[in-house]
Amino acid sequence: MNKPSSDKPPTCTSCRHYFITYDANFRYGCRAFNFKSARQPILDVIDASGQQCQHFQLKEKKLK
């Protein structure tokens, strides 16, 4: 797993499991945990477990 190199918590937008949904009430999704949320999934993970996301994987850069 590619972990962030700094002490800052990972951001969902940098994770390969993050996606935007078509559900207006639950706009953000996480494929690793298989759920949708009204806020960034990392916030729900922290609230539920008290820990940072253990499934964070840095997105690969797309070559043009």
Write out pLDDT tens, residues 1-34.
555 555 677 789 999 999 999 999 999 999 999 9
Domain ranges of the chain: 12-49
Question: What pLDDT is attached to residue 31?
Answer: 95
Mean pLDDT, to the nearest integer, of 25-46? 94
Question: What pLDDT is attached to residue 63?
Answer: 79
Strand pairing category for 35-37 and 28-30? antiparallel
Question: What pLDDT is attached to residue 8?
Answer: 73
Q: Which residues have CB under 8 Å from 56's CB, separation 6+?
A: 1, 2, 3, 4, 10, 15, 17
- Residue in this structure with the two tokens 């190199």, named with its chain if needed: 5
Question: What pLDDT is attached to residue 55?
Answer: 92
Name the pTM for this structure. Answer: 0.77
Q: Which residues have CB under 8 Å from 26's CB, separation 6+?
A: 36, 37, 38
